[in-house]
C-alpha cells in the first residue's frame, strides 16, 4: 500500500509504534570513541577500502555506515542475502516465515542514510568493528566443495552509535557473524553494474548477536521529582514521548534498528 506523502513521523514516533508491539530498548549513558569521530555532513573523510578480501569488505561495510553512503552500501550484498535477527529479539517476529532479504536491507539503509517515505535520515553515525578480523570456513558448506575457499565467515564485535535529527542517540553493541562469498561464486544483484569477479567479496548472510534490552529510564536523567526519569523505572508507551529533554540515549539490538528504519 502506498504511504501518504503527508505522513512525516519522527523516529521517536516510530519507536512508540514498535514499543507497542513489545519491542524493547534500554536508555543507557552514551559513549564516545575518539578514534572514530562523528561524521558531519557527507564529505568523504577517507578513501573507501577495497572489498577485494573478506577483511576489506567489512572495512568498507563500516566505512559506508560512517559516511552514510547508500550507493556503496547497497553493493555490499548478494541477491540471496539474508539477515537473521538475534535470538529472543522480538523485532524479528515479523520475519520468521518470510526472511529479511536484500530488498529489506536496501530500504532500511536508504531510510537511515538518506531518509524518505516520511523518515528523516540519521544526522550522524559512528560504527566501530573489531578490526582484528579472523576468517573461518563457511560452516554451511560441504568441506569437500572445491570452491570452499570462496566462502568464509567472520565474527566481529560491533559498536554502533546513531544520532537522529532530534538529538536522540541509539546505541547498538555486541557481535555480528558475517558469511561472505567471493564474487565469482556470488549471486550479484542486477542493476549495480557489477560482474562476477574473484577480486570482490560480498555479504551473503548476517547473523545479529547484539543484546536485546528492555525499555527503561536513563540514570543520567534521574530526578527525584520526576518518576519518568527515575533510574530503572519502566516507561509505558504513553510516557515515551515525555522523555524529550530528560533522557536522550537508548540501547537497542541491530535488528530493532532495522525494523525501526525499514
pLDDT digits (tens, 9 = 90+) for 70-125: 999 999 999 999 999 998 898 999 999 999 999 999 999 999 999 988 888 999 99
Residue among 172, 148, 161 nearest 35 (CA) = 161
pLDDT the model gives residue 146: 73
**Which is more confidently placed, 81 or 31?**
81
Cα angle vertex 152, ends 146, 153, to 5°? 150
| C-alpha cell of residue 8 | 512525516
Q: Is residue 187 part of a domain?
A: yes
Pick from 108, 126, 125, 104: nearest CA to 117: 108
Residue 165: inside a domain? yes
> Does residue 244 fall inside a structural domain?
no
Q: What is the pLDDT of residues 5-27, one digit of tens each?
A: 444 455 545 554 454 444 444 34
Question: What CATH number is given to the structural domain containing 195?
Answer: 3.10.450.50
137 lies in some domain:
yes
- 14 assigned to some structural domain: no
Give the distance, in angstroms, between the CA of residue 230 and the centroid of all CA atoms in the same chain. Answer: 29
Q: Which is nearest to 56 in space by CA: 192, 194, 182?
A: 182
Among 66-80, 201-215, 241-255, where is mean pLDDT lowest? 241-255
- Domain encompassing residue 196: 51-219+251-261
Across the chain, mean pLDDT equals 78
Per the domain annotation, does 194 fall within a domain? yes
Nearest to 177 by CA among 147, 136, 148: 136
Domain membership of residue 16 (yes or no) is: no
- Residue 33 pLDDT > 90, yes or no? no
Structure-derived torsion over alpha carbons of residues 178, 201, 188, 150, reported in degrees to the nearest 10: -80
Instruction: Specify the pLDDT at position 112.
Output: 97
Query: How many structural domains compose the chain?
Result: 1
Structural domain includes residue 246: no
Measure Cα distances from 169 to 5, 161, 213, 260, 261 in Å: 27, 7, 15, 14, 14
Distance CA 37, CA 18 (A): 29
Amino acid at each position: 500500500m502506498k504511504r501518504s506523502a503527508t505522513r512525516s513521523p519522527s523516529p521517536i514516533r516510530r519507536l512508540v509504534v514498535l514499543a507497542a508491539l513489545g519491542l524493547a530498548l534500554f536508555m543507557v549513558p552514551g559513549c564516545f570513541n575518539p578514534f572514530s569521530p562523528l561524521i558531519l555532513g557527507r564529505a568523504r573523510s577517507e578513501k573507501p577500502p577495497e572489498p577485494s578480501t573478506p577483511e576489506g569488505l567489512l572495512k568498507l561495510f563500516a566505512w559506508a555506515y560512517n559516511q552514510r553512503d547508500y550507493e556503496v552500501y547497497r553493493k555490499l550484498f548478494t541477491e540471496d542475502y539474508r539477515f537473521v535477527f538475534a535470538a529472543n529479539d522480538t523485532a524479528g517476529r515479523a520475519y520468521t516465515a518470510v526472511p529479511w532479504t536484500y530488498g529489506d536491507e536496501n530500504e532500511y539503509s536508504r531510510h537511515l542514510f538518506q531518509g524518505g517515505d516520511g523518515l528523516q535520515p540519521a544526522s550522524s553515525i559512528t560504527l566501530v568493528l573489531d578490526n582484528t578480523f579472523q576468517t573461518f570456513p563457511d560452516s554451511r558448506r560441504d568441506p569437500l566443495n572445491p570452491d570452499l575457499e570462496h566462502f568464509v565467515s567472520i565474527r566481529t564485535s560491533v559498536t554502533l552509535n546513531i544520532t537522529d535529527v532530534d538529538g536522540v542517540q541509539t546505541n547498538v553493541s555486541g557481535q555480528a557473524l558475517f558469511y561472505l562469498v567471493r564474487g565469482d561464486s556470488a549471486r550479484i544483484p542486477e542493476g549495480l553494474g557489477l560482474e562476477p569477479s574473484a577480486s570482490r567479496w560480498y555479504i551473503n548472510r548476517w547473523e545479529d548477536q547484539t543484546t536485546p534490552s528492555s525499555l527503561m529510564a536513563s540514570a543520567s536523567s534521574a530526578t527525584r521529582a520526576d518518576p519518568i526519569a527515575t533510574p530503572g523505572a519502566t516507561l509505558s508507551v504513553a510516557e515515551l514521548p515525555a522523555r524529550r529533554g530528560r533522557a536522550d540515549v537508548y540501547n537497542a539490538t541491530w535488528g530493532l534498528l532495522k525494523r525501526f528504519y525499514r
